[in-house]
A and B are shown apart, each in its own frame.
Chain A
Amino acid sequence: MRYLIARRVSQLTILALYIAANIWGVKILEGNLSSSLLLGTIPLSDPFAVLQMFTAGALISVDILVGALIIVTLYGVIGGRMFCSWVCPINMISDAANWLRRKLGISQVQKRIYMSRKIRFWVLGVSLLLSFIMGLTAFELVSPISILHRGLIFGMGFGISAVAIIFFFDLLIHENGWCGYVCPLGGFYALIGKFSFIRVKYDQDKCTECLKCKNVCPEKEVLYMVTKSSGTVVGGACTNCARCIEVCEDDALNFGLRKYINDKGISNET
């Protein structure tokens, strides 16, 4: 539970700081997830949004370039795809849908619909292509993440319908459908976070092969080594949500730092 609580605290604190900045002028974190100002000085920008702006043909200002680089470094070197499970407000929506899905047992009555994990990379590619052709930031103009996040800070309008679409898609059509398959921002951070240091580590010696971790994981493929061999979860799709760590009763999964070179001087990855 402690990681779940930590994630909710992280998600809600970030949201609360943005709201406080807009409504009461508490200038700790201003703006929104697209671009913000930390402590009134440090720019932070969504690198995927900046990439779309660049492909759309906009002049990229120094501020957002620096802001995007800070974010890329933060996730790329340290956190991996942490944005998705520790920051993104949609996470709470899809978690709610998945929780209800489990409670109602929808997966048991529904025929499994096949969706490829790669859809998100196609969506990512198409959003850049459309940005280029139409001279617009294609995903930013329709992004349900931004709609929800902006809505909470600046006023929702009918934005709640976009959120409802994701909720019901995840609830009725495909488990974890938006975050795990479609969202191009998740795909983007999966690519960027591939080489980050904070990683989940698996210890086969302690594992009793209950497979609870694979059951709970929203990106099951990254846990391919479970029951097979000890190792580090190196898949970029892992969001470091720590659900697997929490369900493991054998202490076989834990956060750790990735070692790029092991003691023998050989690369850790295969």
Chain B
Amino acid sequence: MAKVAMSDRRRFILGMARAVGLAGMGALVWSSVLEESVASSLILRPPGALNEEDFLKTCIKCGLCVSACPYDTLMLAAPGDKKPMGTPFFMPRDIPCYMCEDIPCVPVCPTGALDEKSVTTESELDINIARMGVAVVDSHSCIAFWGIQCDACHRACPLIDEAIVLEYSKNERTGKHAFLKPVVVPDVCTGCGMCEHACVTEKAAIKVLPREVAMGEVGNHYVKGWDEKDQQRVRDAVSKTTKTDLSEKDVLDTLNDDSGLFE
């Protein structure tokens, strides 16, 4: 086939189309890499962190929180950590958050990805309201649930008897001993991980998980009838009746109406 001369306009349009196509292809590859890189949901953030979605947008990955941490708890994710690259995290089994009262890692954050307000009560920093995660006990491998006396996590907890309480019950197997079972109170637990750090089993039987992962959600259709405040929701409830063609007749009449069924 003879080579046909190409007009400048056509050359330009083709060139642009090619560039757009290449850019689109690159964007697809790039987006899949990004998708993978943020897929890790089991990541514990520093205190005061925004929810994960906003955190990923807002964190500039400068590491000022990491530098500010006096215990080397915080790390910036490097390639190979399988976490969103450059973002701060901690692994409590290695080094937990020691819950500094002045929370040095939060005010240094230049972007607000670590939100000072979320760890402030009455204009004073308050690490106890941080919610980095929640501790979860594996009752199967926790030796306290076997009946062996161990309250390592309970003792390690900075909010002892508030975030981890010991539940006493009778050990029917021996007939004369007690179980001292650690139970986490999620409303109080900050997710610092000192319990996970202290746990004596080979692999920690109590560990901190991100709250979104570990915790369920009831929804608003269950009401605690024994809770005055919750019960108020029922009293305040308004019913909404929808009107359709069917609702013109009585309900029973509508249900019993077989007209048109046997034609």
Q: Which of B27, B62, B78, B81 contacts A34 (CB 8 A)?
A: B62
Cβ of A145 to closest chain B Cβ, rounded Å: 11
Interface residue B168 (Cβ < 8 Å from any Cβ of A): no
Cβ of B118 to closest chain A Cβ, rounded Å: 14
Counting chain A CB atoms within 10 Å of each CB, the highest count among B19, B53, B84, B112 belongs to: B112
Residues B30 and A58 in contact, CB atoms below 8 Å apart: no
Cβ of B162 to closest chain A Cβ, rounded Å: 33
Interface positions of A from 40 to 60, Cβ below 8 Å from B:
43, 45-46, 49-50, 53, 56-60
Contacts of A67 in B (CB 8 A): 110
Interface residue B216 (Cβ < 8 Å from any Cβ of A): no
Cβ of B115 to closest chain A Cβ, rounded Å: 10
Q: Which of A63, A129, A141, A154 contacts B78 (CB 8 A)?
A: A154
Residues B110 and A61 in contact, CB atoms below 8 Å apart: yes
Contacting chain A: which of B6-14, B31-39, B132-140, B242-250?
B31-39
Residues B60 and A157 in contact, CB atoms below 8 Å apart: no
Q: Chain B 76-113, CB within 8 Å of chain A: the 1/0 string?
A: 11111100111000000000000000000000101110
The count of residues in chain A whose C-beta lies closer than 8 Å to any C-beta of chain B is: 55
Residues B61 and A130 in contact, CB atoms below 8 Å apart: no
Residues A53 and B37 in contact, CB atoms below 8 Å apart: no
Interface residue B75 (Cβ < 8 Å from any Cβ of A): yes
Cβ of B47 to closest chain A Cβ, rounded Å: 18
Cβ of A182 to closest chain B Cβ, rounded Å: 10
Q: Which of B30, B80, B112 contacts A158 (CB 8 A)?
A: B80
Q: In this complex, what residue of B is CB-closest to A67?
A: B110
Interface residue A170 (Cβ < 8 Å from any Cβ of B): no
Docked complex Cα distance between A155 and B60 (Å): 17
Cβ of B102 to closest chain A Cβ, rounded Å: 16
Residues A138 and B78 in contact, CB atoms below 8 Å apart: no
* A126 and B66 in contact, given A58-B58, A61-B111 (Cβ under 8 angstroms): no
Q: In this complex, what residue of B is CB-closest to A25?
A: B67
* A64 and B111 in contact, given A142-B33, A147-B79 (Cβ under 8 angstroms): yes
Q: Which of B53, B67, B75, B77 contacts A135 (CB 8 A)?
A: B53
Cβ of B124 to closest chain A Cβ, rounded Å: 21
8 tightest CB-CB pairs across the interface, nearest first?
A: A157-B78, A158-B80, A35-B62, A58-B57, A157-B80, A31-B62, A58-B58, A63-B110
Q: What would 16 A/B residue contacts be, using CB atoms closer than 8 Å? A: A30-B67, A34-B60, A34-B61, A37-B64, A37-B110, A45-B60, A49-B61, A122-B26, A126-B26, A130-B30, A130-B34, A142-B37, A153-B63, A155-B78, A157-B79, A159-B78
